[in-house]
Structure 1
């Protein structure tokens, strides 16, 4: 059976492509659909179906774009109610793609419409499961997202549905089936996913805590709900875009691809109250940037942090990027529904400097310099996740996770100096840019973050610091 996983690391996302005898299907595509169209053209195949496992929260799917450009039919599982034409399949219904068969298994739990697709090859042998967010490698989908969109749903109700979906629909299937999930490690759609992106169902029955033999429903619910962190704020907005529809990517990019010189850029920023988003590396940003801009580097988990820190999905945005990175930035923003970029600085930050415009910078220190300054009176803020902080942190550090920073601004001093760090310097520079924008100046960021701090052997503890902000 020909099945290809198309993995996008920025979102920890996997789409799938199957092709047989001139017919193809795509499962859970990203919004930029041209790569799928080119892949099918190379195989001299027509895309017949776009199968969706559920209404996604962490990205805007490309199902509408594929339907528009190829005529492919969109397929959702039972109970889905999109605001556009689509096939709403019945549980057990079978679709054909050339000599392959795709069987619908309704597996509610992550969401009510969540569906797993059982793939059968040209010889009639069941080959694999495209599980969406129902079953990951090492984990299962979190059941607390749909409640933010559908009134009356609770995470407890969804968790109990997921328990039965796994045991009634998936676990009875053959151990040699290959599991093809929608996400891998790094996605916020689960809490402990493996770095592996496929496995056999038999291995998962042995290794995945959620498939443990003899596990009661109450035990499953307790283990599944324990340790869930707050989902990113843009998730419910992406769900609604996937349900209601959205502008074509071509239209979004046409509006956004507007080069502006320094004067035009400044006028646009002031007139539109646009957010200036700088996607260069933390090191480059620290050396110099446009005042009041926010740094979220393309080289990290850009989409996730853009969606987490830019709270208004309708916010107008102006971009500062490295040369040639404009299109990539726009596409990665559009993947999570940020469709309101109104232009970019032609020539990047260097053009701003050459125009004699005002600039700002952020002080950075090495871990060795931090060690020299370190004492019990130093104000040190660790912006890693609470779980990272609890695992190990510098004695005396205060934990303010990056995604909570706007709720804890009162903890930072505008008079007394303080120091920021994260794991490697990416998140702390996002925090630094936000604090600068809020009027904080008397601080420094640690180059290399906690990894460099460990190398310098600063005093650390693996116990939760009593000053930790929850």
Structure 2
């Protein structure tokens, strides 16, 4: 057999192709939105995709399971609890799929979501690997607070956390220590708190090193797991529903996005997402545009700042980036929201001033400082006395809370988020100078002194 792991670094997402060398058949687990890489893998191995297994309806990306089934004739297998709106076969505890010497068996492992599965892969009767979706991650477990208002089944976070306690201890931890663990996410995903960099592990390694698997009472596990969870991006519920229904085919949907000339007239008052580097953006941009830069986790921040009910224009610095940004937008199912995508800038009339960092360092009290990091980040490492903490995902709705009697300085932890934050605050506070501390924030960190 052959297990191929595919990584999408922008979303910290792992998907898998498992090849039976005896039958030249492939099973996919949790595929990404663009299916081409799986078709290429099948062709390179002279094999056929016969099944796609979804561990749950994902919140942070759109899966291509329905498209692959339409294109290849593969059967999609999911838990019956999901209530899938596309052709599928139920795959729950006790169900198996056999390809040659390989057997896939389902374990219902609720907790991250009520309909979560883990898939155990055995070869000739011996367990080799388990694909854990967002239930068990490397050094962590999935967050249990994403399904209170989305999906066929909903549950309160406390209830799901209790289910996760039992899914890990009663099912996954009972697998042999040498069984390989292949999760759907790595470090940096908003589906967990994890920060470790590994892409796979073993049950034994997780039992000895994963904080969430150490001996804990159910009550202590729930309390620890629910503490300091990150924000929930606006697009998460939308993606759950889109994955439950089955998304449209990737390439045709991307091709529908209108490509506009750089000088094209935009609809008055329309939302503009300008992905150019912050230095270019500050020198001139469309009034009210949000500077969500192409680097970093563009798709995550796009879906965190823009709701699935909003339409927007997309501005890229060059043609290749325009293509890449549309594809990234499609990863979260937002391509249908793009009113048009252009290269360059539609306007240079609006600018943002450059901060005199030395003057700010000498007299920070002369500025209103807005810290747009998450509350847990601010608590762990406060940087400026009397700073106003409004996390970036809340800033569009809360910018009016910022006092206007002094110039405003916006900062985050490294500069990426503050570029977006300052672009939100400036048009919300007309007549007030708004500055972006940018990467200079690193010189204020305790380790910098």
TM-score by length of 2: 0.93
Structure-to-structure mapping, 1:81-100, within 5 angstroms: 81-100=83-102
Q: Would the alpha carbon gap of residues 457 and 174 (structure 1) be closer, same or farther in structure 2, given more than 3 Å must change?
A: closer
Whether 1:402 and 2:402 are equivalent positions in the alignment is: no
Match of 2:301 in 1: 305
Deviation at 1:210, TM superposition (A): 1.8
Q: Would the alpha carbon gap of residues 443 and 104 (structure 1) be closer, same or farther in structure 2, given more than 3 Å must change?
A: same
Whether 1:5 and 2:2 are equivalent positions in the alignment is: no
Match of 1:340 in 2: 337
Where structure 1 has 5 or more consecutive residues not aligned to the other structure, the ranges are: 459-470
Q: Structure 1, residues 313-372: CA drift from partner, whole Å, max 9, x if none?
A: 142222110212112111111111212213222x423xx4xxxx5421212326434213
Match of 1:430 in 2: 420
Match of 2:442 in 1: 451
The answer to whether the Cα contact below 8 Å between 2:92 and 2:117 also exists between their aligned partners in 1 is no
Structure-to-structure mapping, 1:227-246, within 5 angstroms: 227-246=228-247
Q: Structure 1, residues 35-61: CA drift from partner, whole Å, max 9, x if none?
A: 111111111111111110001111111
Q: Would the alpha carbon gap of residues 217 and 457 (structure 1) be closer, same or farther in structure 2, given more than 3 Å must change?
A: closer
Deviation at 1:394, TM superposition (A): 2.1
Quote the Cα distance in structure 1 between the aligned partners of 2:214 and 2:448. 40
Q: Structure 1, residues 255-302: CA drift from partner, whole Å, max 9, x if none?
A: 10423341xx31x423xx542111112222122212221111110111
Q: State the secondary structure of the residue aligned to 2:76.
A: strand
Q: Would the alpha carbon gap of residues 138 and 77 (structure 1) be closer, same or farther in structure 2, given more than 3 Å must change?
A: same
Match of 1:76 in 2: 78
Q: Would the alpha carbon gap of residues 219 and 96 (structure 1) be closer, same or farther in structure 2, given more than 3 Å must change?
A: same
Quote the Cα distance in structure 1 between the aligned partners of 2:441 and 2:129. 41
The answer to whether the Cα contact below 8 Å between 2:368 and 2:403 also exists between their aligned partners in 1 is no
Match of 1:130 in 2: 131
TM-score by length of 1: 0.89
Report how many residues are paired: 442
Q: Would the alpha carbon gap of residues 348 and 358 (structure 1) be closer, same or farther in structure 2, given more than 3 Å must change?
A: closer
Q: Which moved more, 1:48-57 or 1:152-161?
A: 152-161
The answer to whether the Cα contact below 8 Å between 1:326 and 1:344 also exists between their aligned partners in 2 is yes
Q: Which moved more, 1:171-180 or 1:376-385?
A: 376-385
Q: Would the alpha carbon gap of residues 378 and 291 (structure 1) be closer, same or farther in structure 2, given more than 3 Å must change?
A: closer
Q: State the secondary structure of the residue aligned to 1:53.
A: coil
The answer to whether the Cα contact below 8 Å between 2:366 and 2:406 also exists between their aligned partners in 1 is no
Q: Would the alpha carbon gap of residues 55 and 456 (structure 1) be closer, same or farther in structure 2, given more than 3 Å must change?
A: closer
Q: State the secondary structure of the residue aligned to 2:256.
A: helix
Where structure 2 has 5 or more consecutive residues not aligned to the other structure, the ranges are: none
Match of 1:259 in 2: 260
Q: Which moved more, 1:237-246 or 1:446-455?
A: 446-455
Deviation at 1:30, TM superposition (A): 1.0
Match of 1:295 in 2: 291
Quote the Cα distance in structure 1 between the aligned partners of 2:188 and 2:353. 29
Deviation at 1:455, TM superposition (A): 7.8
Match of 1:418 in 2: 408
Whether 1:269 and 2:262 are equivalent positions in the alignment is: no
Structure-to-structure mapping, 1:341-360, within 5 angstroms: 341-345=338-342, 347-349=343-345, 352=346, 357-360=347-350
Quote the Cα distance in structure 2 between the aligned partners of 1:116 and 1:94. 12
Whether 1:54 and 2:50 are equivalent positions in the alignment is: no
Deviation at 1:456, TM superposition (A): 9.9
Structure-to-structure mapping, 1:2-401, within 5 angstroms: 2-21=2-21, 22-121=24-123, 123-149=124-150, 153-213=155-215, 215-262=216-263, 265-266=264-265, 268-270=266-268, 274-311=270-307, 313-323=308-318, 324-338=320-334, 339-345=336-342, 347-349=343-345, 352=346, 357-365=347-355, 367-374=357-364, 376-392=365-381, 393-401=383-391
CA RMSD in angstroms, aligned pairs only: 2.0
Q: State the secondary structure of the residue aligned to 2:313.
A: strand
Q: State the secondary structure of the residue aligned to 1:109.
A: coil
The answer to whether the Cα contact below 8 Å between 1:107 and 1:115 also exists between their aligned partners in 2 is yes
Q: Would the alpha carbon gap of residues 300 and 77 (structure 1) be closer, same or farther in structure 2, given more than 3 Å must change?
A: same
Q: Would the alpha carbon gap of residues 286 and 202 (structure 1) be closer, same or farther in structure 2, given more than 3 Å must change?
A: same
Deviation at 1:99, TM superposition (A): 3.2
Q: Structure 1, residues 125-177: CA drift from partner, whole Å, max 9, x if none?
A: 32111000110111111111111125762112211211111111111110111
Match of 1:467 in 2: none
Q: Structure 1, residues 181-233: CA drift from partner, whole Å, max 9, x if none?
A: 111111111123422221111111011122113x2222221222222233112
Q: State the secondary structure of the residue aligned to 2:82.
A: coil
The answer to whether the Cα contact below 8 Å between 2:64 and 2:247 also exists between their aligned partners in 1 is no
The answer to whether the Cα contact below 8 Å between 1:54 and 1:114 also exists between their aligned partners in 2 is yes
